[in-house]
A and B are shown apart, each in its own frame.
Chain A
């Protein structure tokens, strides 16, 4: 099941691997994305750490890890064509995978319905 944070990250947890991206709403709010910085593979992060950066024409936005654990993979293919990062493609544009050390990190996150209600 995909869960969402108040900061518009999503995480899809399978076994202990969490795939993380940002929501269609967040991408729409950012506007044209001109630069993305992804975390280094192998670093350990805490839930809430700023681990990636999205820069739009207007502003920089930090992306926070929804869970603690080790970064085991990053989606470098994203960097080849930033114009492909659109609201429509948001759920395919994952940023990094984190080996989640404690699944209860996701307990305070929202399901799809709760997240949609928050941004409505």
Chain B
């Protein structure tokens, strides 16, 4: 079966992108500038990403205006009542063992709930939602919409330079807000969020207008096209989880450092899937923790690598690397991974069991690069 193509496929090819298969889509992994340059451009000016492979889903309540909230409350640890009109929250689908089926964003706009889910889990998530819809919730999967991300310190001024019309001042439009906007004559939906650790926006645009808008954005002096390669290095430095690496059915949110996503009211009620094991970890501390890892000697340490502690010949296996590679902002190799709680202290010296010779590796606090979210 052929991979799916986003509405920007021809745009990427014309821009010289190297296209690779990713989660059933043909996506740009990098442009001619290369991963390092694309990464640094995002941290210093502004990066433009096609993330249309992610699933955009709406849930409408029919005949019972709280039905969609009640349904999502069954599947997530989020207090839906906290998501006011115009706001977004990070959430996850949990299973009864406390494992994570996927992470997602939930927004409320015009009274309807809008979800963005991972491309690689879209089929799973849509089936999971469908199984719980009931008669009062209607689900729409928006294949007619593209999604682009504009990330970096110049993102807001770039949108203003393109004459974006918002019903709120940019200065009052903060991290995790969602608004309607008009950009180049097209009605778009704008979220101040992203997956890089920088200030920035995710912009939902009709497929019919996305090439024109993306072309205009890319023509701006401060904007650089960025592929999935740098998207991964950016999110790794920012300590942001990727399902299948830092989140999975066998990793619970507390271990992954995502306790903030467990709403207080839901914790107190203990009424979400997997509440027992998750709350036990929350109260007693998890057996393993997600940490930053800085390899010594210049050689990257990749995901799946076993982490050990102890003197040579007498080492104990104490964890594993969940994402690893190179951190362009640090100009050094970096990784993130899970270690037994007693070794999670920043500065702890560990050994990565790399092919050939072991690599000394030091535990570091996450994020490896400070977040720059705009809090207003």
Chain B residues, CB < 8 A from A55:
299-300, 326
Chain B min CB distance to A9 (Å): 19
Q: Given A31-B34, A31-B229, A57 and B326 touching (CB < 8 A)?
A: yes
Quick one: CB contact mask for B320-339 with A, threshold 8 Å, 1 for yes?
00000110100001000000
Task: Say whether A35 contacts B35, CB under 8 Å.
Answer: no
Which of A31, A37, A58 is the one whose CB lies under 8 Å from B299?
A37
> For residues 222 through 257 of chain B, which have their beta carbon under 8 Å from a beta carbon of chain A?
229, 233
A31 — which chain B residues lie within 8 A by C-beta? Answer: 30, 34-35, 229
Q: Is A60 engaged at the interface, CB distance under 8 Å to the other chain?
A: yes
Q: Which residues from chain B contact A35 at a C-beta distance below 8 Å?
A: 298-300, 333
Task: List residues of chain A with CB within 8 A of the CB of B302.
Answer: 59-60
In the complex, whether A12 has a CB less than 8 A from a CB of chain B is no
B266 at the interface (CB under 8 A from A): no
Please provide the chain A residues from 6 to 57 with a CB less than 8 Å away from any CB of chain B in the complex.
31-32, 34-35, 37, 53, 55, 57
List CB contacts (< 8 Å) of B295-331 with chain A: 298-300, 302, 325-326, 328
CB neighbours (8 Å) of B121 from chain A are: none
Q: Give chain A interface residues in 64-118, CB to chain B under 8 Å.
A: none
A58 near B229: Cβ-Cβ < 8 Å = yes
Task: Give the complex CA separation of A37 and B29 in angstroms.
Answer: 25
Residues of B within 8 A of A59 (CB): 302
Whether B87 sits at the interface, judged by CB under 8 Å, is no
CB atoms of A57 and B299 under 8 A apart: no
Q: Cβ of B349 < 8 Å from any Cβ of A?
A: no
A24 and B233 alpha carbons, distance in the complex (Å): 25
Any A CB within 8 A of the CB of B165: no
Q: Is B180 an interface residue (CB 8 A)?
A: no
Nearest B residue (CB) for A28:
B18
Interface string of B19-45 (1 = CB under 8 A from A): 000000000011000111000000000
By CB atoms of chain A within 10 A, which of B30, B233, B299, B328 has the most?
B299
B34 near A32 with CB under 8 A, answer: yes
Shortest Cβ distance from residue B294 to the other chain A in the assembled complex, whole angstroms: 14
Give the distance in Å from the alpha carbon of A113 to the alpha carbon of B274 in the complex.
61
Q: Are A57 and B36 in contact (CB under 8 A)?
A: yes
Residues of B within 8 A of A34 (CB): 298, 300, 326, 333
- The docked-state distance in angstroms from the alpha carbon of A85 to that of B206 is 42
- Measured between C-beta atoms, what is the minimum distance from B319 to chain A in Å? 21
Give the CA-CA distance A77 to B241 in the complex, in Å.
38
Q: A34-B326, A35-B333 are in contact. Are A58 and B298 (CB under 8 A)?
A: no
**Within the assembled complex, what's the spacing in Å between the Cα atoms of A35 and B356?**
15
Minimum CB distance partner of A55 in chain B: B300
* Closest residue of A by beta carbon distance from B354: A60
Is there contact, CB below 8 Å, between B36 and A32? yes
Q: Name which residue of chain B comes closest to A34, CB basis.
A: B326
CB distance from B318 to the nearest CB of A (A): 23
Select from chain B the residue with minimum beta-carbon distance to A82: B298
- List the A side residues contacting B233 at CB < 8 Å: 57
Chain A contacts to B: CB under 8 angstroms:
31-32, 34-35, 37, 53, 55, 57-60
User: Can you give 5 contacting A-B residue pairs, CB < 8 Å?
Assistant: A32-B34, A32-B36, A34-B326, A55-B326, A58-B35
Query: 9 tightest CB-CB pairs across the interface, nearest first?
Result: A57-B35, A34-B326, A32-B36, A57-B326, A35-B299, A32-B34, A55-B300, A35-B298, A32-B35
Q: Other than the known A31-B229, A32-B35, what 5 A-B pairs have Cβ atoms closer than 8 Å?
A: A31-B34, A34-B326, A55-B300, A58-B229, A59-B302
